[in-house]
Amino acid sequence: MRIDLAGRRALVTGGTGAIGSRICAALARAGAQVTANCAESDLPAAQEQQARWRKESLEIALEPFDVARFEACAGALARIGTVDILVNCAGITRDAPLRRMQPQQWQDVLRVNLDSVFNVSRHVIEGMCERGWGRIVNISSVNGQKGQFGQTNYSAAKAGVHGFTMALAAETARKGVTVNTVSPGYIDSPMIRAVPEDIRARILEGIPAGRFGQPQDIADAVTFLCAEQAAFITGANLPVNGGQFMSA
């Protein structure tokens, strides 16, 4: 299926990370004009990623701002202008069993992983509805569906992401705007490579597909949900987890 996003303007939060960078590249290859958000502290690494995109003949703009701050998002969106496609991909982990989790660990994860979805979406949704076309894709996680030891903060935030998706999808369905969730399983990335080898092996045993996902697997799912061909899909959660978690 050929996906044509020519003339569409896309913003990807967390757009220079392992998954976000592949989403940006996939949208750009489909013809979208893409801006990648990054944290201001990550700007040097983001510029290195931008150089790698250019080697792939992809021109992707950078926009550093703090997605956890509503006012920072307002300023950034004023600079960026029209956004037709928003991918909320920014996320962090601060893992600990709840009995040892500190309030700051809870608050940091909720602010970046969940509050950011409101902070950015709030500034683009009115324009999408007025223009009668828009795509919002929120990146959740398999651990938002099934939970995970040591991740009460992360699992709560990622479960909340899909609740947000369903509610906003109901608000915008008649306006030509779709809102969907993609829930990745364990993806081959620096995060999973940092897990001790024995734990990584146990995780792999629980994936029926027999492999970790690739960032491109997530990018392809996101790009599909942004396509004209996906206009009748809204409020959905698309699991991309190799069969690790299946639900009706």
Cβ contacts of residue 113 below 8 Å, gap of 6+? Answer: 90, 91, 92, 154, 157, 158, 161
| 3-state SS, residue 236 | coil
Global confidence as pTM:
0.97
Residue 61 half-sphere exposure, CB side, CA atoms within 13 Å? 12
For the segment 212-237, the average pLDDT, to the nearest whole number, is 98
Active site residues: 154
pLDDT of 248: 77
Tokens at 63, concatenated: 């926009």
Q: What is the pLDDT of residues 57-68, one digit of tens each?
A: 999 999 999 999
Q: What percentage of residues in the chain have a pLDDT greater than 90? A: 94
The answer to whether 94 and 153 are in contact (CB under 8 A) is yes
Distance, CA of 179 to CA of 225 (rounded, Å): 9
Any idea where the domains of the chain sit in the sequence? 9-234
pLDDT digits (tens, 9 = 90+) for 146-176: 999 999 999 999 999 999 999 999 999 999 9
Instruction: Give the per-residue pLDDT at 199.
Output: 87
Query: In the CATH hierarchy, which top-level class contains the domain 9-234?
Result: alpha beta
Tell me the per-residue pLDDT of 100-130, one tens digit each, with 9 for 90 and over: 999 999 999 999 999 999 999 999 999 999 9
- Compute the average pLDDT of residues 176-194: 93
